[in-house]
Structure 1
Amino acid sequence: MNALPAPRNLVLIGGGHSHALILKHWGLSPRPDVRVTVINPGAVAAYSGMLPGFVAGHYPREALELDILRLAEFAGGCAVMGRATAIDRENRLVHIEGQPPIPYDIASVDIGITSAMPDLAGFADHGIPAKPLEAFATRWDAFRRKAHAGEIAPEVAIIGGGVAGAELALAMAYALRSVRNTQVSLIDHSNILSEIRPATRRAVLKALAKAGVQLRPQSRVAEVRADEVVFADGSTLPAQFTLGAAGARPYGWLTQTGLALQDGFIKVGPTLQSSDPRIFACGDCAHLTHAPRPKAGVFAVREAPVLFDNLQSALRDGSEARLRPYHPQKDYLKLVSLGRKSALADKSGLRVSGPLIWRWKDHIDRTFMKQVKYLPQASDKAI
């Protein structure tokens, strides 16, 4: 009697939006010849689309949590709680901080980005990056409670005046609106919201002014202290909570993988394969060489079906696999939360804002979460 062949190992590095959907799809179409392992620092990952709503107080913490453990179980795989630190491509091993390495036949990387500022004095000790989201969400929840209880001064500084920084500034100002002497400041070394269309910029700047957010353009931060931000000119700004939201930075360990990178992000082609055909990448940590796009969750979500099919094909057919191409849209819908239950929609130069747009955005976000939270029973999957 011939022995059954050993199962192939699929390792999903990171619990990003694409991988959450991959686990859901895998559970609906399981393969007994494949062993699935997902590596993530924690049991849950946060959905970025609902983060401003959580910060503002519109959603409870659990509303934006992707249950990676439950998704892995549904997929018939296992979850390893740890932080990936390296990929040994020669021996096909993924190294994890404080744990044994995990072997792979095919791997996919979906670890997102970080807003950490390692070169800014004092930030590591006294600041918090907006990404990864999980640590920020925990720190903000604790600060908000203390501010409302009068245990800490409601002084917030956000470093980074892009759309993400503006959304979070508006959300924080709304969350602290009933606390006396609240001060929320949005800081950028250049101009605030310089990367978006002029009409959209004016609308968001108007919302920031209405919310009482102080703008500090052309201000370079030199140091972050426990209770203040120090600027390059020596002036200071009181801050009990300093958030880093400036730009999208790749994780440093990717530079040691030997994969082709673009500014630290993994280069992928239309099939979402890296320069090593056994390693795929998606979401914010990937750079689409055939169609460069901004870092936005919409692309990660839409990459998932293509990635799922290509992982299946690569595991089944190896180098002979015929893989699907992913072609991202050129102009995508941008939805900006405005603190209160109001949002702005911008696409193709058309702009609309108000409570109805927030309800639309809320519907889109909740629909995505339902996709990954509703996991049918075994009897339902067989139908």
Structure 2
Amino acid sequence: MERGARDLVLIGGGHAHALVLLGWKPVPDLRVTLVNPKPAAPYTGMLPGHVAGHYRRSDMMIDLVDLARRAGARLVLDCATGIDRQAKRVLLAGGDSLPYDVASLDVGIASDLPQVPGAADHAVAAKPLGPYADRWDAFVAQAPAEPQIVVIGGGTGGIELAMAQAFRLQSAGARPRVTVVERAAQVLPGLGAGARQALLTRMAGFGIRILTRTEVARIAPDAVILGCGTRLPSDFTLTVTGAQQQAWLTGTGLALERGFVRVGPTLQSSDPAIFAVGDCAHLSHAPRPKAGVFAVREAPILGHNLGAAVLCGPLRRYRPQRDYLKLISCGARVAVADKFGLRLEGAWLWLWKDRIDRRFMQRFRD
């Protein structure tokens, strides 16, 4: 590059970074680099539909190669393992490093159980999404006639995926027995009573068993062993246990909140040259749950602020909404909606969600 040229490095191909690249206007003498381990990134909104068999894998994948090309950026297929803030370089798993003047983190979260013996070897984490989708598709192709499924985690994501898995296996002619294990007193926290009851009724229709106030002691190749000693046979064990931070972020020296990067209204971290968005970030000025809707709405602010940071211009502030519409698919082409404690339910909601998701993906293909 020319002398005096600058570098913007986008670490991770999450939704916010994808949308930033989609709307990026080239800045003179600025090289933009996207770092992601794979050439495509999954769209989380369509994952339950893919698991249920409604979408092909390709339907939910954002082509980062094409996206980077259209934005005039380069794509580096590697994983970030650290940031040398003094040298202003992003460290990569392959041994290389990338210089940056401004960097942004959109690396998502994990949903594994690092503290549970056997989880790493015998369970599948719902996040990152790619490995889960791979393992699920392979399992469905060779599933036994009466597969035993255990889902660890009774939040909205766990319940949605439990129903999606049950529907997919039933559609294939199997007779699955699905159990959801939750350590809290009830499943589906954060939903209104009406939506929770509607989802519990849908789960009962699939014959899904729910165990609350239940700890997992360890995970074996063919079973989940509970804290009380009970052994749950399992052919496929899925962990959907909330947000686990990316461990390497602890070595960056950035201010963290339970392992997540603390950011203010401008989406800057404690280091003004480093931004963070999506699930890996903690909005210190307005804490919110981990949900894709926030990453999508952060994107326009992030895109402006990255350019402004490079050019030393004024930054905009992100003000997240207090509540958001939750559209939860129920395995079949039916969905439940919840906002402000109000509930709606029906096939038309699934069709509405399908239209929203397909329209989102079409933006990357036009």
Measure, in 1, the Cα distance between the counterparts of 2:317 and 2:323.
18
Aligned to 1:113, the other structure's residue is in SS state coil
- Whole-angstrom distance in 2 between the partners of 1:373 and 1:215: 40
1:159 lines up with 2:152 in the alignment = yes
Q: Percent identity?
A: 50
Q: List per-residue Cα deviations over 1:156-184 (Å, max 9, x = no partner).
A: 11100000000000100000114333111
| Aligned residues of 2:195 and 2:344 also touching (Cα < 8 A) | no
Alignment partner for residue 314 of structure 1, among 309, 315, 324? Answer: 309
* Cα pair 2:152 2:182 within 8 Å, conserved: yes
1:90 deviation in Å? 0.4
- Residues 269-318 of structure 1 show CA distances to partners (whole Å, capped at 9, x for unaligned) of 1100001000000011111111111111111001101100000111112x
Alignment of 1:163-178 (within 5 A): 163-178=156-171
Q: CA deviation at 1:194?
A: 3.1
Aligned to 2:264: 269
| Residue of 219, 226, 236 corresponding to 1:224 | 219
Alignment of 1:98-117 (within 5 A): 98-117=94-113
Amino acid at match of 1:64: M
Q: State the Cα deviation string for residues 248-269 of structure 1 (Å, max 9, x = none).
A: 1111111111111111111111
CA distance in 1, matches of 2:34, 2:207: 43
Contact 1:154 1:240 in 2 (8 A): yes
Please list every run of 5 or more consecutive structure 2 residues that lacks an aligned counterpart in the other structure. Answer: none
Structure 2 CA distance for partners of 1:194 and 1:77, relative to 1, 3 Å: closer
What is the CA-CA distance between 1:127 and the residue it aligns to?
0.6
Counterparts of 2:196 and 2:337, CA distance in 1: 12
Aligned residue number for residue 378 of structure 1: none
**Larger deviation, residues 275-284 vs 361-370:** 361-370
CA–CA separation in structure 2 for the residues paired with 1:25 and 1:256:
32
Given that residues 56 and 174 in structure 1 are in contact (C-alpha distance below 8 angstroms), is that contact kept between their aligned partners in structure 2?
yes
Could you say which residue in structure 2 is the equivalent of 1:13? Answer: 11
Q: Which one-letter code corresponds to 1:272 in the other structure? A: L
Residue 212 of structure 1 deviates from its aligned partner by 1.3
Aligned residues: 364
Q: Residue 379 of structure 1 aligns with which residue? A: none
Contact 1:11–1:108 (CA under 8 A) maintained in structure 2? yes
Cα displacement string for residues 173-202 of structure 1 (whole angstroms, at most 9, x for unaligned residues): 000114333111111112222332222211
Distance in 2 (alpha carbons) for counterparts of 1:153 and 1:340 = 20
C-alpha distance in structure 1 between counterparts of 2:113 and 2:339, whole Å: 31
- Normalised TM-score (structure 2): 0.97
Cα deviation, residue 6, structure 1: 3.4
Structure 2 partner of 1:53? 49
Q: Is contact 1:109–1:282 with CA below 8 Å preserved after alignment?
A: yes
Letter in 2 for 1:124: A
Aligned twin of 1:366: 358
* 1:188 maps onto 2:182 in alignment: yes
Once the two structures are superposed, residues 94-125 of structure 1 have per-residue CA deviations (whole angstroms, 9 ceiling, x without a partner) of 11112301110000000011001111110111
The one-letter amino acid paired with 1:137 is: A
- The Cα offsets for residues 2-60 of structure 1, whole Å up to 9 and x where unpaired, read as x954321000000000000111112xx22231111111111111111000000000000
* CA-CA distance at 1:237 after TM superposition: 0.8
2:320 maps to 328
1:19-58 matched pairs, under 5 angstroms: 19-26=17-24, 29-58=25-54
**Paired amino acid for 2:168:** A
Measured in 1, the distance between the counterparts of 2:50 and 2:4 equals: 45
Unaligned runs of 5+ in 1: 375-383
SS of the residue aligned with 2:363? helix
User: Are the counterparts in 1 of residues 267 and 277 from structure 2 also a CA contact under 8 Å?
Assistant: yes
Who is 1:197 aligned against? 192
Residue of structure 2 equivalent to 1:381: none
The Cα offsets for residues 183-233 of structure 1, whole Å up to 9 and x where unpaired, read as 111111122223322222111111111111111112211111111111111
* Residue of structure 2 aligned with 1:354, choices 346, 353, 356: 346
Equivalent AA in structure 1 for residue 300 of structure 2: P
Could you tell me which amino acid in structure 2 is paired with residue 193 of structure 1?
L
Equivalent residue letter for 2:247: G
